[in-house]
């Protein structure tokens, strides 16, 4: 049996796992990291954990590749993180894939975490039955991944599918990317919380600092303002997806990230309003569905994109 290591870097830890070709996770561990440390002090402990896991499972098969998922813009060839990884500053300007490949002795491939999640859904999750789809993770921010003809589309340098920064309103809210009116400002977790609180304050109601999940729970229980919040959020998402579908004629749009766990509370407003933003013939038969991998998306996706690129 052959397996790949998947590494999912976050601000306080790196999740590490061994994944076989069928998407089975043979082992997984969490490596604490201090994001303020220098590069080697962050990366070397992760490399050591991968090597230990591979040795522990050597009787079951061999490690053929390492896949690495991180936030940021990652050059496809070199694997260098050239921006967008401010939460782990030591990784900026460095190639984790080069360092890990040399240390572990197998090919290593780094990719944006949203691209990794899209690759995971293609190989092991909700994307298995589609050849062409968009993956949109909705969380603290909004990312994106594109699969075209059953291959992850990375663009000229590896920076494609920044769906969260599609401009939907040029006079809208200021975004941290420097533009205005980006999807991220209307469909992320913080945006949902802000909108719900605004609706309550305008009606002179208490505006508790609830999580998006709690607001979704309130919507499920019939809270009118919570339902309106997800309805408006769904309309922004529908506008963005309608543009993508008109441009690329995709079969499906898969919503991931923590917000997708709200299920039909977010999916139905998107589905019902999508026709307002798309040619009917283009929208016919398009699936708007939730991702399947959820908490395992980071490890599975990182491993999946490594196996894809190793074979490619």
Q: Residue by residue, what is the 3-state secondary structure of 9-46?
A: ECCCEEEEEEEECCCCEEEEEEEECCCCCCHHHHHHHH
CATH 3.30.420.40 residue ranges of the chain are: 2-120+302-311, 128-291
Tokens describing residue 285: 């038969």
Query: H-type helices in the chain, by residue range?
Result: 39-56, 96-104, 113-124, 184-187, 189-202, 212-220, 224-248, 264-273, 280-283, 297-311
Per-residue pLDDT tens digits for 285-309: 999 999 999 889 999 999 999 999 9
**Which of 276, 269, 266, 264 is CA-nearest to residue 239?**
276
Tokens describing residue 297: 């998306």
Compute the C-alpha angle 167/79/40, nearest 5°: 115
Residue 137 contacts residue 117 (beta carbons within 8 Å): yes
How would you write the pLDDT of the chain (312 residues) with one tens digit per residue? 999 999 999 888 999 999 999 999 999 999 999 989 999 999 999 999 999 999 999 998 999 999 999 999 999 889 999 998 888 999 999 999 999 999 999 999 999 999 999 999 999 999 999 999 999 999 999 999 999 999 999 999 999 999 999 999 999 999 999 999 999 999 999 999 999 999 999 999 999 989 999 999 999 999 999 999 999 999 999 999 999 999 999 999 999 999 999 999 999 999 999 999 999 999 999 999 999 998 899 999 999 999 999 987
| Chosen CATH of 128-291 out of 3.40.47.10, 3.30.70.2340, 3.30.420.40, 3.30.565.10 | 3.30.420.40
User: What is the rounded CA–CA span in Å between residue 174 and residue 180?
Assistant: 4
| Chosen CATH of 2-120+302-311 out of 3.30.1130.10, 3.30.420.40, 3.20.20.70, 3.30.460.80 | 3.30.420.40
User: What is the rounded CA–CA span in Å between residue 309 and residue 101?
Assistant: 14
End-to-end C-alpha distance for the chain, whole angstroms: 20
The residues facing 73 across adjacent strands are 83
Tokens describing residue 195: 């909108």
**Which of 21, 84, 16, 85 is CA-nearest to residue 48?**
16
Pairing of strands 108-112, 81-83: unpaired
Compute the C-alpha angle 77/81/85, nearest 5°: 150
Residue 215 contacts residue 192 (beta carbons within 8 Å): yes
Give the DSSP letter of residue 5: E
Give the contacts of 300 (CB within 8 A, at least 6 positions apart). Answer: 6, 17, 19, 23, 25, 120, 123, 124, 125, 293
């Amino acid at each position: 049996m052959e397996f790949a290591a998947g590494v999912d870097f976050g601000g306080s830890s790196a999740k590490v796992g061994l994944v076989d070709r069928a998407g089975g996770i043979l082992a997984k561990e969490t490596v604490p990291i201090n994001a303020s440390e220098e590069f080697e002090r962050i990366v070397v402990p992760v490399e050591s954990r991968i090597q230990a896991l591979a040795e522990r499972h050597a009787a079951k098969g061999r490690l053929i590749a390492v896949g690495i998922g991180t936030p940021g813009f990652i050059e496809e060839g070199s694997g260098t993180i050239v921006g967008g990884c401010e939460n782990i500053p030591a990784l900026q300007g460095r190639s984790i894939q080069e360092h890990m490949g040399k240390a572990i002795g197998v090919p290593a491939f780094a990719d944006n975490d949203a691209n990794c999640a899209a690759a995971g859904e293609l190989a092991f999750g909700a994307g298995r039955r589609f050849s062409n789809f968009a993956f949109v993770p909705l969380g603290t921010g909004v990312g994106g991944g594109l699969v075209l003809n059953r291959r992850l589309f990375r663009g000229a340098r590896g920076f494609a599918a920044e769906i969260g920064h599609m401009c939907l309103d040029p006079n809208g809210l200021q975004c941290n990317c420097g533009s205005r009116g980006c999807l991220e400002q209307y469909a992320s977790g913080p945006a949902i919380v802000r909108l719900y609180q605004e609706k309550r304050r305008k009606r002179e109601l208490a505006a508790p600092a609830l999580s998006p999940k709690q607001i979704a729970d309130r919507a499920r229980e019939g809270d009118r303002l919570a339902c309106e919040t997800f309805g408006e959020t769904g309309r922004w998402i529908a506008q963005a997806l309608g543009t993508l579908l008109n441009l690329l004629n995709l079969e499906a749009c898969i919503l991931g990230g923590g917000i997708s766990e709200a299920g039909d509370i977010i999916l139905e407003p998107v589905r019902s309003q999508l026709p307002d933003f798309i040619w009917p013939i283009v929208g016919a038969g398009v699936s708007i569905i939730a991702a399947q991998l959820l908490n395992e998306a980071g490890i599975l996706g990182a491993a999946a994109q490594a196996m894809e690129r190793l074979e490619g």
